[in-house]
Structure 1
Amino acid sequence: MIKVGTSTLIHQNSKVRLAVIDKLAHVMSTLKKDGKDVILVSSGAIGVGMGVLHLDSRPVKISQQQAVAAIGQAELIQIYNEALHKYGMCAAQMLITKDVIDYPESHTNVMNNFQALLSMPNAIPIVNENDAITVSELDHLTKFGDNDQLSAIVTNLVDADLLIMLSDIDGFYTANPLKVPDAKLIDRVKTIGPDIIAAAGGHGTKFGTGGMTTKLKAAERILKHNQQMVLANGKDPDIIFNILSGDMVGTLFTKI
């Protein structure tokens, strides 16, 4: 399971980091061809939509956010598809709403879909919350809250071995490294206690909704289900190969 944040995908000038997406497509395709199950949870719909519409700031009105998300999601999945096609793969878009958790029938349907897609040799499921119709994610009012939470939920649903969360930071630090120069990278976190929570900061870029606090909440869910998560810098997606090789990269959240 791979989760990529908006800040990893989009420049501050709203332009898509096409080289990052191409590398990500190459990594996922290589893993798939090696017989591994791969699912990507990708943020970026609103950020990409802002770029298409030449907006300087994220809209405040919910209906405008949803419209921008609808435009951006179409553009984003097309970019992923074009990148994956170069490596013999295709994107399988899955836009999820919170009823996959709340209603047994929806839960069964989404699980059947994941199982069918994972059995296909050239399909990469790309998951996002359905921002164009849901209010909860955009206003942080219900379960999903953001794609950090969504990636942890999907990791739980499919019983994935590992969630690799790619962000614009090298891992989890003792303090915000942008504000505290001598902050230390924490290699491994086994429990999320008051000291870890205190070290978390606020929201991320103008495009996204996440921050270190949301990543800790995702990690809590992962640990609760006895799974593992790595938080690492996604500027070069080849880092995924290093993580899977067992290299000490980023921060590993694990009970082991």
Structure 2
Amino acid sequence: MPSVLSGARRIVVKVGSSLVTNEGRGVDAAAIGNWSRQLAALAATGRELVMVSSGAIAEGMKRLGWAQRPKELHELQAAAAVGQMGLVQMYESRLSEHGMASAQVLLTHADLADRERYLNARSTLLTLLALKVIPVINENDTVVTDEIRFGDNDTLGALVANLVDADAYVILTDQRGLYSADPRKDPQARFIDEATAGDPALEAMAGGAGSSIGRGGMLTKILAAKRAAGSGTSTVIAWGREPDVLLRLASGEAIGTALLAGTPKLAARKQWMLDHLQLKGAVAVDDGAVAKLRDDGKSLLPIGVHEVQGDFSRGDVIAVRTLAGHEIARGLANYSAAEARLIARKPSHQIEALLGYANEPELIDRTNLVLI
């Protein structure tokens, strides 16, 4: 099996409620400590790690003395609010024991659907990773209704993997991986070691409800892997209590089910940019900026922009054109068209003085720019 993690530099790890809370009996300090130890060991090799953790509602249920997951929305939100306290405290203390700094990040699917909030979340997470901090991410179940009713952290983990351009996505669950059928009912069920993410046959194999503690079953994991593969990220589904599962995966050992992305990461990102048939705007840049983009792989700075065309918002895909009108690149704008007009031909250190604030020093960061 091609090693998904051995060459991965940036890895998103998702753990389910049943693992985090020991089947609902409360936050499992030993389990979180074990994963924290492995994350610290991987970080020591230069890898960047993001943890997406379920368990807030389950921990809140335990603290409130509830044996069954409530159905009323306000009770779910109350459980999430109570449980989030214990969950984040446990991650902070266990990661610090291994010399790792951590940060709590609460996200919703809506944060990643809105382009401006998407860029804000991306900038925050990439800054944390650059600072050697491990973000611990959960859905903001306390205030957002649709995530509790329909959301699952398998999908959130895939969205985060896309958000930070992860090389690999690991879903740790209470199952060994994917089988061709339910092994409890079909003795002929075959374990799937490797497959291509997005293969329709996988969805037929998966199915069934999740545990009484969590919401996600195997089908949500298959669909999450398909979503992650859209940006070129491969996924591994593995048993979370497998000894040193993360370290062994990173060493190249075949554990669980590997769902490989059919499109290379850079090609997927480029294709996503190129798929925009209608752009809301463009910028015309001078020859010096063209050379820096094409030859040096640099970001697009405001000082190289001579003209701003159209009416775009922060986070929109815009075209980058030469002064003669030839499109040379596309990228995500860090500033709106109105803001870009104010900072065009100006050095980056003047952005705050001109706008009253500064999102980033670049008009388009090189990680969000694709040459044509």
Name the aligned partner's letter for residue 18 of structure 2.
S
1:99 CA displacement: 3.0
2:141 maps to what in 1?
Answer: 131
User: Residue 225 of structure 1: CA displacement?
Assistant: 2.0
Q: 1:175 aligns with which of 181, 186, 200?
A: 181
Distance 2:157 2:261 in 1: 19
Distance 1:107 1:250 in 2: 31
Identity %: 38
Partner SS, residue 60 of structure 1: coil
Which one of 63, 70, 73 corresponds to residue 62 of structure 1?
73
Give the structure with higher Rg (CA): 2
Normalization by structure 1: what TM-score? 0.93
Query: One-letter code of the match for 2:195?
Result: V
Between the aligned partners of 1:15 and 1:108, the Cα distance in structure 2 is 35
Give the CA deviation at 1:115.
1.3
Deviation digits for residues 90-148 of structure 1 (CA, Å, limit 9, x no counterpart): 32000002332232221121111111100113x210001100001111111xxxx2100
Provide structure 2 residue ranges, at least 5 long, that are not aligned to the other structure: 1-11, 263-372
1:73 to 2:79 alignment: no
Mean alpha-carbon deviation: is it higher for 104-113 or for 36-45?
104-113
Alignment of 1:153-192 (within 5 A): 153-192=159-198
TM-score (norm 2): 0.65
- For each residue in 1:59-84, what CA deviation from the matched residue of structure 2 results, as whole angstroms up to 9, or x when unmatched? 11001100100110111000111111
The amino acid across from 1:159 in the alignment is D
SS state at 1:7 partner: helix
Deviating beyond 6 angstroms after TM superposition, the runs of 4 or more aligned structure 1 residues are none
Alpha-carbon RMSD: 1.5
Q: How many residues align?
A: 251
Structure 1 gaps of 5+ residues are none
Q: How far off is 1:15 after superposition?
A: 2.9
Structure-1 separation of matches of 2:178 and 2:97: 34
- Of 19, 23, 47, the residue aligned with 1:12 is 23
Letter in 2 for 1:4: V
Greater shift, 232-241 or 7-16, is seen at: 7-16
Q: Does 1:89 align with 2:89?
A: no
Tell me which residue corresponds to 1:108.
119
CA distance in 1, matches of 2:110, 2:243: 31
Greater relative contact order (Cα < 8 A, sep 6+) = 1
Q: Is the 8 A contact 2:24 2:59 kept in 1?
A: no
The alpha carbon displacement at 1:191 in A equals: 4.6
How far did residue 45 of structure 1 move?
0.4
Of 101-110 and 238-247, more deviation after overlay is shown by 101-110
Task: Tell me, yes or no, if structure 1 residue 253 matches structure 2 residue 259.
Answer: yes
CA shift for structure 1 position 41: 0.4
**Cα distance 1:230–1:13, how it changes in 2: closer, same or farther (>3 A)?**
closer
